[in-house]
């Protein structure tokens, strides 16, 4: 192979570039027409670009393609002349491996590459510039360099490096040889220096493949010696005591990286064959390896001086250190420097670098403030600043976060109340406490209510009856405290032979459940020949029918009284029953056969009290006993009489009310 300018002939081991997609059919020829439910993959292996070429070019090798997918038959194919296309089942992820073999030794691959792809219906995928990776082993490189007869050389060197090897060969002493090298990638550079300081050279990237020999022939002519020169470049690295510089590389897009030599803080480089066409050295930058990370300067352009020396502006590198923090961590990010990770605690940085420091509190803590030496501490988190020309140490402080405990679900002072303790100390609602605090809630119902349940969100709690205990996590907690009305009963006593009772419109048959505050209406319904007399509610008589009352905080006993209609007879024998009274106390009854009986005492008493069934019925000298006032059945009538002389007489008799 010859360069376009005709100055250099190269027969080189080339780079495999492959365009690969997925396969899903059995063995097939490449180049099939589109098929429904499939896609197309175009594959190409070319010997262009970085010059990784086999001895006789691409077509001297056998390129096999194997496609595999889960649940599908594997597919294999051969790329004729290093390129072609294949149709594949769509919607399936395929793993495709290209293998290159020497046709003289097909059992041992010399290069491989694997990709994965999934095609949609009708899709065409094309892959370019994929280099096959050399298989482990060893190969050989036959090389030679020829010089023009009309150029007197003061120096000629072949440099090569890669795959853990770095060496050089004096071409004036040996212009042709064979190198045995391990399989892998290498860079070969020829540098010729004429006695007039003009130079010529070239650089080639080569892959050495197992069991194969590659040939590189360099042929130079006088025209190759353009007006170029080797330019010494130096860079002064001002590193603080906290920074250890382990290596410096001068970089440019126009030539390979050049490692510098440290001469007491000044790093020296020799840039070979720089063209003086525009008298500027363009796009130089330094990549500085330190103990903590790689620092890269910005590309700059320098004018070449008359002495051909270039000195880069002094570069200052300083240490940024993140201190250990209690209850939180610090992380950093440096613009344009991907080697500085957020988890790093120290980085070596160029003055002027843009740095962002982020403080992350631990669970249950909140950021408070940054602390700093070598720079004024920032007040905003994250904090972005420009690295100054000195070392910087940054720390941060954190404060314990307060989290809320939100209570709901009940009406205070009506349904119940909740007693709160934080770490054993009484507290009030709303509650704000710290992670790890012990919270105790005790629910106490009001009259007529009882505790029902706790509904807890945001924490795992322990419940013992109406007491809830938990340790506050690093988040807000919501608790619904639920009370419910107590179920009380209304029990009605009624003689079903006389009538019935309804409670809130429903015939009473069994105890009725009610709650404190409910409006309760009872209605008595007497049977034929009976009339309603009264309700007795918890010992108190009421003659209203219907009668409405408010349910108290307790059970209620109701009784209903009826009487039979028609004449009622009394069976009271006054003369006999009240015998034994002094003569001055005369008792008599009137209308013995009527429903009214009058009992009279003489004027010689000072006080009189009449009791019916134990209840005071009158205090006059005359008491009228009306049948309509009493239920049919037996009753007691008692009279207590006090005399002037202080004596007191009493007598109790029974009477019967009958139909």
Mean pLDDT of the region 211-225: 79
pLDDT at 271 over 90: no
Separation of alpha carbons 29 and 78, rounded Å: 8
Left (φ > 0), alpha (ψ -120 to 50) or beta: where does 458 sit? left
Left (φ > 0), alpha (ψ -120 to 50) or beta: where does 368 sit? alpha
Report whether 625 contacts 590 (CB < 8 A).
no
What's the pLDDT band for 59 if we cut at 50, 70, 90? low
Mean pLDDT of the region 102-129: 81
Helix (H/G/I), strand (E/B), else coil: 608: strand
What's the pLDDT band for 592 if we cut at 50, 70, 90? very low
pLDDT at 391 over 90: yes
Residue 40 tokens, joined: 């197309």
Burial class (CB in 10 A: 0-12, 13-18, 19+), 643: middle
- Could you tell me which residues are beta bridge partners of residue 177? 143
pLDDT at 10 over 50: no
Residue 346 tokens, joined: 């120290």
Please tell me the predicted confidence (pLDDT) of residue 277. 47
pLDDT at 556 over 70: yes
What's the pLDDT band for 605 if we cut at 50, 70, 90? low
What's the pLDDT band for 421 if we cut at 50, 70, 90? very high
Residues whose CB falls within 8 Å of the CB of residue 264, separated by 6 or more in sequence, listed in order = none
Separation of alpha carbons 623 and 574, rounded Å: 13
Query: Which single residue is written with the structure tokens 């706790």?
Result: 454
Separation of alpha carbons 208 and 163, rounded Å: 10
Separation of alpha carbons 207 and 133, rounded Å: 8
Separation of alpha carbons 606 and 649, rounded Å: 12
Helix (H/G/I), strand (E/B), else coil: 598: strand
pLDDT at 86 over 60: yes
pLDDT at 296 over 60: yes
pLDDT at 348 over 80: yes
**pLDDT tens, position by position, 234-251:** 888 999 999 999 889 988
pLDDT at 570 over 90: no
Separation of alpha carbons 327 and 117, rounded Å: 46
Separation of alpha carbons 642 and 619, rounded Å: 12
Please tell me the predicted confidence (pLDDT) of residue 12. 27
Of 53 and 473, the structure prediction assigns the larger pLDDT to: 473
Separation of alpha carbons 226 and 249, rounded Å: 26
Angle, CA 391 vertex, CA 386 and CA 393 arms, to 5°: 85
What's the pLDDT band for 130 if we cut at 50, 70, 90? low
Of 605 and 392, the structure prediction assigns the larger pLDDT to: 392
What's the pLDDT band for 4 if we cut at 50, 70, 90? very low
Mean pLDDT of the region 520-543: 93
Separation of alpha carbons 237 and 350, rounded Å: 10
What's the pLDDT band for 547 if we cut at 50, 70, 90? very high
pLDDT at 275 over 70: no
**pLDDT tens, position by position, 310-321:** 788 888 999 999
What's the pLDDT band for 1 if we cut at 50, 70, 90? very low
What's the pLDDT band for 25 if we cut at 50, 70, 90? very low
Angle, CA 151 vertex, CA 148 and CA 154 arms, to 5°: 115
**pLDDT tens, position by position, 632-656:** 777 888 888 777 777 777 777 777 7
Q: Which of these ranges, 76-80, 354-358, 534-538, has the smallest mean pLDDT?
A: 76-80
Q: Which of these ranges, 48-52, 117-121, 400-404, 463-467, has the smallest mean pLDDT?
A: 48-52
Report whether 293 contacts 302 (CB < 8 A).
no
Please tell me the predicted confidence (pLDDT) of residue 624. 72
Please tell me the predicted confidence (pLDDT) of residue 196. 63
The one-character DSSP state at 299 is: P
Separation of alpha carbons 513 and 524, rounded Å: 19
Greatest Cα-to-Cα distance within the chain, rounded to the nearest angstrom: 179
- In the predicted model, what is the mean pLDDT of the chain? 80
Mean pLDDT of the region 345-359: 93
pLDDT at 17 over 50: no
Angle, CA 59 vertex, CA 57 and CA 63 arms, to 5°: 115
Q: Which of these ranges, 154-158, 394-398, 493-497, 623-627, has the smallest mean pLDDT?
A: 623-627
DSSP assignment string, 173-227: T-SEEEEEEESEEEEEEEEEEETTS-EEEEEEEEEE-TT-EEEEEEE--GGG--S
Q: Which of these ranges, 346-350, 472-476, 574-578, has the smallest mean pLDDT?
A: 574-578
pTM of the model: 0.44
Mean pLDDT of the region 14-19: 28
Please tell me the predicted confidence (pLDDT) of residue 64. 87
pLDDT at 120 over 60: yes
Separation of alpha carbons 288 and 285, rounded Å: 10
Pairing of strands 402-408, 477-485: parallel
Of 21 and 424, the structure prediction assigns the larger pLDDT to: 424
Please tell me the predicted confidence (pLDDT) of residue 575. 55
């Amino acid at each position: 192979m010859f360069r376009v300018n005709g100055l250099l002939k190269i027969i080189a081991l080339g780079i495999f570039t492959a365009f690969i997609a997925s396969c899903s059919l059995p063995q097939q020829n490449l180049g099939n027409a589109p098929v429904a439910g499939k896609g197309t993959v175009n594959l190409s292996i070319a010997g262009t670009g970085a010059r990784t070429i086999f001895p006789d070019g691409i077509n001297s090798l056998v390129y096999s393609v194997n496609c595999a997918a889960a649940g599908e038959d594997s597919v294999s194919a051969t790329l004729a002349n290093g390129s072609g296309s294949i149709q594949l089942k769509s919607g399936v992820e395929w793993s495709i491996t290209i293998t290159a073999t020497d046709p003289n030794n097909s059992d041992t691959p010399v290069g491989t590459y694997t990709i994965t792809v999934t095609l949609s219906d009708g899709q065409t995928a094309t892959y370019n510039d994929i280099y096959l990776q050399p298989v482990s082993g060893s190969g050989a490189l036959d090389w030679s360099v020829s010089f023009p007869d009309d150029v007197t050389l003061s120096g000629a060197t072949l440099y090569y490096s890669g795959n853990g090897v770095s060496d050089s060969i004096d071409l004036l002493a040996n212009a042709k040889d064979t190198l045995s090298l391990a399989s892998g990638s290498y860079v070969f550079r020829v540098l010729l220096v004429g006695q007039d300081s003009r130079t010529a050279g070239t650089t080639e990237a080569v892959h050495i493949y197992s069991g194969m020999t590659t040939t590189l022939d360099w042929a130079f002519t006088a025209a190759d010696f353009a007006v170029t020169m080797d330019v010494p470049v130096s860079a002064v690295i001002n590193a603080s005591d906290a920074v250890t510089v382990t290596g410096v590389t001068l970089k440019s897009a126009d030539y390979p990286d050049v490692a510098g030599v440290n001469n007491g803080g000044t790093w020296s480089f020799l840039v070979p064959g720089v063209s003086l066409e525009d008298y500027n050295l363009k796009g130089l930058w330094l990549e500085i390896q330190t103990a903590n990370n790689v620092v890269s300067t910005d590309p700059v352009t320098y004018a070449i001086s008359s002495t051909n020396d270039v000195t880069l502006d002094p570069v200052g590198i300083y240490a940024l250190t993140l201190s250990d923090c209690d209850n939180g961590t610090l992380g950093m990010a440096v613009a344009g420097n991907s080697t500085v990770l957020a988890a790093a605690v120290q980085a070596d940085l160029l003055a002027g670098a843009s740095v962002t420091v982020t403080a992350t509190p631990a669970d249950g803590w909140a950021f408070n403030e940054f602390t700093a030496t070598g720079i004024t501490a920032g007040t905003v988190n994250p904090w972005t600043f420009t690295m100054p020309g000195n070392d910087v140490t940054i720390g941060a402080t954190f404060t314990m976060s307060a989290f809320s405990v939100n209570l709901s679900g009940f009406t205070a002072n009506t349904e119940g109340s909740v007693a709160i303790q934080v770490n054993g100390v009484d507290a009030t609602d709303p509650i704000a406490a710290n992670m790890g605090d012990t919270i105790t809630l005790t629910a106490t119902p009001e009259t007529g209510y009882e505790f029902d349940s706790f509904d807890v969100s945001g924490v795992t709690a322990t419940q013992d009856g109406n007491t809830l205990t938990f340790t506050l996590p690093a988040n807000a907690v919501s608790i619904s405290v639920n009370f419910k009305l107590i179920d009380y009963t209304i029990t009605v006593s009624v003689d079903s032979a006389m009538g019935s009772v309804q409670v809130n419109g429903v015939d009473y048959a069994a105890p009725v459940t009610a709650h404190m505050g409910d409006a309760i209406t009872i209605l008595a319904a007497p049977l034929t020949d009976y009339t309603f007399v009264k309700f007795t509610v918890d010992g108190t008589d009421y003659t209203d029918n219907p009668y409405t009352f408010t349910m108290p905080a307790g059970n209620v006993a109701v009784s209903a009284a009826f009487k039979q209609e028609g004449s009622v007879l009394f069976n009271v024998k006054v003369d006999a029953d009240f015998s034994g009274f002094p003569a001055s106390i005369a008792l008599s009854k009137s209308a013995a056969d009527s429903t009214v009986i009058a009992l009279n005492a003489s004027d010689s008493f000072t006080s009189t009290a009449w009791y019916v069934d134990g209840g005071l019925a009158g205090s006059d000298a005359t008491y009228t006993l009306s049948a309509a006032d009493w239920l049919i059945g037996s009753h007691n009538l008692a009279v207590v009489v006090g005399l002037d002389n202080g004596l007191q007489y009493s007598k109790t008799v029974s009477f019967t009310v009958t139909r």
